[in-house]
Structure 1
Amino acid sequence: MSEQLKLIVEQLNKDPFRKNFNLITFDSLEPMQLLQILNDVLAEVDPKHAIDIREEMPEQTAKRMCALLGMLKYKPPGNQSDLSGFRQGLVVGSKPAVHPILHWLLQRVPELKKRAYLARFLVKLDVPAEFLADDVIGDTYHQYEELVEGFKTNHKECEQLRTSGFSTAEIRRDIGAMEEEKGPLIKRVERLKKRVESVSNHQQMLEQARQLRVEKKREEHLAHQKQEQKNQLFQAQQRLQRLQQQLKDMRHAAADASPDSLMKRLEEEIKINSYMVSEKLPKELEVLKRTVQYLQKVASEPAMGHGDLLELRDKIKGVDMQINHLIEKKMMRSDPIDDKLTLYRQQASIIIRKKEAKAEELQEAREELAAAERELTHRTSQALASNGEEVVRGDEFRVYPASRPKIAGMGSSTPATLLKRLVVKLRSKGTVYKKKRQEIAELKAEYGVLQRTEEILKQRHEAVQEKLQTMEAEKGISGYSNTQEELERVSAIKSELDEKKGRTLDDMSEMVKQLNSMIVEKKSALAPIIKELRSLRQQCQVLNQEHEEKKSQYESCGAGLESNRSKLEQEVKALREETAQEENRYHYINSKSEITEMQIQRAAEEMKAYVSSDVQERKRAIREVYMKNIAEQELLGKKLREKQKMVRESHSANMEQMKMWQDLEQLMECKRQCFIKVQNEASVGQVIQEGGEDRLVL
């Protein structure tokens, strides 16, 4: 779930969204904000959905989003397979419903854009069959289907051209370059033609040169075919030899095998597979399901604060105390029979764990074998693709054909002897390799033991040194263990002083005497303490032995308590699950009984109304209401069919009348234009006449 949120936040922070979220801010979004973000992502896929969800009803938003998601072929997760629950989650903007949609959309935005674009043209209109009976509508729909198919073909061709790697600019550049090269080539051809025309019998020579070129091409083609056939023959021979060797090995294995051994082997495989199918894999699947349910439950809960964490810790401490109290009670009242059975239970649990470990090792070995086989086939195919020949395998070393090539540096012996020497050398090297590997493993094990021993000795040495220092401090002679270091330091100081000051031998002897006297004094003072220290060391060894015994007892007791605790936890878990199942069953049965009672009550009321002698009450019955609605709809349909028939019959006459009205309208418009034109001409003539009269008066 955290990886899912990380991917969503990372994609929303990129172009074209630019949301600047982090995990905390995104997880703390309100349902309306989360729905708006989902709508923004859908708008990026299909621009028609770029709206504000506050301007429409929640049911319309959920319906619109469900329609688009269905067109994009989104499938809800397993726990949201119920369409009504999924739609309700979209209406309220719940995180378990919205987060998987965002994760699915943001992973494939370009692909979904293309799918939404194609859906606008490829999703066919749903036309009822009764309307298609009409000729005009049927022809139009058929033309629509042809256009859809034409769009499919054109889109495929466009995609092929886009992915072909050609572009118009490159093609134009190539055409320009070829046109530039065309001129010099034409001139060169003309010059060659002029030269050839001066030669006698040039047509025959050209024909012979053309035939020579054709024959050379044919010769190259035949040589290539010959080489291919040689390679195929060589591969077929190798395959035949390998198959013969496999047949010989299988016959040898079949000769050694007996029905009893085969049956035992098959029974062992069946036991292993049945254990894997019936015990191991269901347990792992159940554990994974519980983990997923727990993670979904954690993800659906709101973010927790510091106070909530403290409260949960207090609850955990209280539950742990209750568990310890229950364990103590059980241990107090445990009977000897249960104590005897505890050992067998522990042994059974150990055997079960070993069995599971061996099953896991078997599964890992099978996976490694499958991976090795895949790698072998892959490398074989690569070798075949690169060299054109098959790779020599391990089982082919036992076959010594006479056509095997010689090996450089091994003389002129036969291939069989050379291969025998090679096999012997490989076997000797294999045995040496196994021995060396075994020695390395033993040395590694010994190194680990020695390293652990060194660590233990260092720890013990440090502990002894600490105890020794504490005892010296208690006795008032701290620093006794460092006497040797002090002596060395004093001797170093003495030598330095001797070198610096150049004292005489007498002074040095006196210094030595003083130092010896000091050492004797220190030894005499530390002698009783050393005796006490020896006794204390013996006591320490005894206490260490007692500590190891108590520790082993404690570990055995702890193992028993741990096994009992795990058993109690499993029992409590099973009882809780059973309780939850029974509660769910109880609520389900109650709801079913309530629904059944309501249905019975409605049926009784309907029966009472239907049998009643009162006409008004009988009319309120559902059957009477539905019969009345059916009769009304049939009458309405009959009227509509009559009206449709009348419209069809009067369609041609109405069209002619409409055409006559259009002609009349054009005629009236023409008359109006003529009238306007006559009025304009009359007004212009009047103005001219008035102007002439004015000139006469002047």
Structure 2
Amino acid sequence: MSDQIKFIVDNLNKEPFRKNYNLITFDSLEPMQLLQVLNDVLAEIDPKQVVDIREEMPEQTTKRMLSLLGILKYKPPGNATDMSTFRQGLVIGSKPVIYPVLHWLLQRTNELKKRAYLARFLIKLEVPSEFLQDETVADTNKQYEELMEAFKTLHKECEQLKTSGFSTAEIRRDISAMEEEKDQLIKRVERLKKRVETVQNHQRMLKIARQLRVEKEREEFLAQQKQEQKNQLFHAVQRLQRVQNQLKSMRHAAADAKPESLMKRLEEEIKFNSYMVTEKFPKELESKKKELHFLQQVVSEPAMGHSDLLELESKINEINTQINQLIEKKMMRNEPIEGKLSLYRQQASIISRKKEAKAEELQEAKEKLANLEREVSVKTNQTREFDGTEVLKGDEFKRYVSKLRSKSTVFKKKHQIIAEFKAEFGLLQRTEELLKQRHENIQHQLVKKLNSLVSEKKSALAPVIKELRQLRQKCQELTQECDEKKSQYDSCAAGLESNRSKLEQEVRGLREECLQEESRYHYTNCMIKNLEIQLRRATDEMKAYVSSDQQEKRKAIRQQYTKNIAEQENLGKKLREKQKAVRESHGPNMKQAKMWRDFEQLMECKKQCFLKQQSQTPMGQVIQEGGEDRLVL
């Protein structure tokens, strides 16, 4: 448990939490604070969980955390398998429940972030079968499933691209080439703008051309939308046929519920299972082994670049051509008997392929049925665990069905309104098509006029274009000469720059030497001045000491030091005498001080006794004090 807490504290003190906990402060957290820490960790995994639990009801907090932990596939440890116990511990902020959750979350934060991100798009919404009977709901549900599958494939491709071995140098070369193309296109657009600016009414012509482009894009979009609607209609017809076939098969199965038919079905199922075990599964296993061996070889090889892929594609094309040539030669050599046998072989292969396809379809249907039954059992278990309720039965189910019927009536009314809107949309769409035809005719006439104007302008600009070609040729020559001169200049400038850098380094070194010498010079000057001052003081001292004048001798430092020494010696003598006197009088003085303290204590005791006696004597009583009688009032 201590290792677990230490791991939790270390990870909470790191980025992005930065909690600054230690083992003692973390272990002394209140239940609400511990729940807030758990919520912060969950919010790092899923940003939707950012909330202050003080502003949220405990039931909502528990439900939200349990739903996220269920998405993240957290399984409580062995001592918390009871779901009610785990839920109760989560509500009250129990440490034995929250510590394992934090330890599990902090061990795999990046993996859980990815899982929470994918869960937003891959958790399928279960739609009741009653609502799927409607075409619009069924189509929407199918589009939803298709988008989910598309997201899966795109996510796999994205992960493969992240882990693929594309070199950054190739990507950079592609980016630089694209940037060069972009610059060329920008220059070309600028040249075309300059040409167009000289034409009269160029703004109006550009506006009309822009409108034409917009209408063409709109036409393409409408055509694409029309094709999508056709595809949807085709899929709806196919779905209707499948449903009708299923209805027929179900009716036939209900009508043919006899022992003979059941035995027949069992025999068919036994044949199917024996075919799957003896023929299909061994083939699939062999093919999977071959595929695994091939993938292992591919993984063992180093990462390929774009050039390697081009070489492989060229080799594959060559091998395909050789295979086609061999097939043609074989067909040329075949005899009539072999041709007849080939027909039978083709028929046998076709029948075997059909058999395999039907077996796969049957296997997929069985797997789908098993998955649905498993999902039903899981959902019932989840409802029992989370809500503690069983599946609706009897009167409750009838009430639920009545509610669904009322909702279905409302849904049918809404569906009728949608059908009216669709009819109105069809009318509007037809009017839009008619208006588009008129608009296209008008645009066609405009385009003819624009083409005629463009041809006139081209004929007018033809001599200018010829002159421009000559000027372009001259410009190319001048640019080539400029590039040569520039290369010469760059080489010369590079040489001068290298010489300049060398000279700058030499100058920098000489300046540093000069500064060092200057500092040394100033230091020696200061030392010389200090020595001169000391020498001057020494000479003055010698003159004063040798001089016969007493005043001059007194000014000497030696005389002053001897005088100070004598004064200090006299002062020390006086202090020693004073210390001696204090030592001699210390004993008697201490005794006298003790006597005074005893006397003071005795007087205080007398005072207390007197006050006590005075407080105990009643009024009007005569007491004798000091040989005299005294009346106490």
With structure 1 as the length reference, what TM-score do the two structures score?
0.28
With structure 2 as the length reference, what TM-score do the two structures score?
0.31
Larger Rg: 2
RCO comparison, higher one (Cα < 8 Å, 6+): 1
